[in-house]
Amino acid sequence: MGLIIHKEKINEETAGKLIDICPFSAIGYKDGELSIGQSCKMCKLCVKKGPEGAITFEEEEKPVCDKSLWQGVAVFAEQRGGKIHPVSLELVGKARELAKVTGHPVLVVLIGYKLETAAKELLEYGVDKVYVYDDEAFSDFVISPYANAFTDFIEKIKPSSILVGATSLGRSIAPKVAARVHAGLTADCTMLEMKKNTDLVQIRPAFGGNIMAQIITPNTRPQFCTVRYKIFSAPKKSEATGEIIDMPVDENMIKGYTTVLKTVNKPEEIDISDAEIIVAVGRGIRTKDDLALAEQLADTLHAQLACTRPLVENGWFDAKRQIGLSGRTVKPKLIITLGISGSVQFAAGMRNSDLIIAVNKDRKAPIFEFANYGFVGDLYEIVPALLKKVEELYNV
């Protein structure tokens, strides 16, 4: 694909016209030769308004993919010690919705050791087939053997779409495997839609959250994307009707360049993604000492305290308590936002909450567009009144 210069139609006169047309000064003429430099932005004005036939634009013939060879919506089921990560169950729920559009099966690839119980559990969530790579070499996550097994699954089963949780593990393995199978990868999707022709519409914020980009890969398969935890909902368990397929594991597959000598489990940390009630604070909090007011409300409601990015940058909070595109995605039963305007970046991380209550003195704040209930006023007046009401109701 590119601009083609037809030398037989270039002379000093036509060259001068082309140079004058180019708004980026990308066209040059020296010693009877016309050239197009790196500053060219492919605006094609030289083609449209230049001397006819002097420069033409030609596209490469796009590869044709036989989509009928690729069947199924697949989920990479992340597990630790045989316990399935909740994000994988959420992706199974979404995969079932997507598969209904095309009539494709819902597939799961499961890699690890002693996975019989985990595989049976996945079938209870409506999965059609679970492909299991079970070997002691997969006891710990080592990226090369895991990527080998994942790639083997894609090459043999040929799923049309693949969903991976945007966890630390998922973000490690997805790009490596996508590169191996020459597939694109859309990271941190917030919405997914399926076309009847099996094209997966992968939707995510772009340009700092100012637009929602819709990305499709119509000419290649498989289609790869990662999705954050708490974006979708896990399906309810039902009677298992699918099947478990044990995949062969050979020496080449489990060969790795890293040996795990010892695994040390970190102490469990508070994860606001799992919180059922959250009190979130933003720039409306004037000083660090004023956080005591929000902390008191959180304690009274048995809630987790969270924040927006500026408060992390101020050093008031650990980054693990940040909500938004560059923080955590949450889906609590109740979230109360205090002094938060509700930017696109923040909203993307919490707008799926069951009940949103917003407190902000700016009645035009974006947070009120998606809050279930809003209080317009000074949080320093509203929060004490709210605290008093909660204490009365619950006899605190």
Give 2-60 as a DSSP string: EEEE-GGG--HHHHHHHHHH-TT--EEEETTEEEE-TT-----HHHHHSSTTTEEEEPP
Return the pLDDT at 396: 57
Model's pTM, two decimal places? 0.80
Which residues, 6 or more positions from 63, have their beta carbon under 8 angstroms from its beta carbon? 219, 220
Q: Closest by alpha carbon to 190, among 225, 216, 160?
A: 225
Residue 349 has pLDDT above 80, yes or no: yes
Residue range(s) occupied by CATH 3.40.50.1220 in the chain: 272-394
- Between vectors from CA 132 to CA 127 and to CA 137, what angle results, nearest 5°? 150
Taking a C-beta distance cutoff of 8 angstroms, is the pair 280, 341 a contact? no
73's enclosing H/E stretch is strand 73-77
Interval 174-194 mean pLDDT: 95
DSSP 8-state assignment for residue 277: E
pLDDT (tens digit, 9 = 90+) per residue, 32-90? 999 999 999 889 999 999 999 999 998 777 777 899 999 999 999 999 999 999 999 99
Q: Where is 203: in which H helix or E strand? A: strand 200-206
Query: What's the CA gap between 356 and 334, in Å, rounded?
Result: 6
Cα separation, 225 vs 189, in Å, equals: 7
Write out the residue limits of the CATH 3.30.70.20 domain(s) in the chain: 2-58
What's the mean pLDDT in 92-96? 98
When pLDDT is averaged across residues 333-359 and rounded to a whole number, the result is 94
3-state secondary structure of 349: coil
CATH number among 3.40.50.10610, 2.60.120.200, 3.40.50.620, 3.10.105.10, domain 67-254:
3.40.50.620
Q: Which fold has domain 2-58?
A: Alpha-Beta Plaits (3.30.70)
Cβ-contact 341, 362 below 8 angstroms = yes
Q: Which CATH architecture has domain 272-394?
A: 3-Layer(aba) Sandwich (3.40)
Residue 37: other Cβ atoms inside 10 A: 11
- The closest alpha carbon to 54, from 7, 19, 109, 117, belongs to 7
Q: Nearest Cα to 169, choosing from 94, 46, 77?
A: 77
Q: Could you tell me where in the chain the CATH 3.40.50.620 domains are found?
A: 67-254
- What residue type is assigned to position 223 of the chain? Q
207-225 residue pLDDT tens? 777 788 999 999 999 999 9
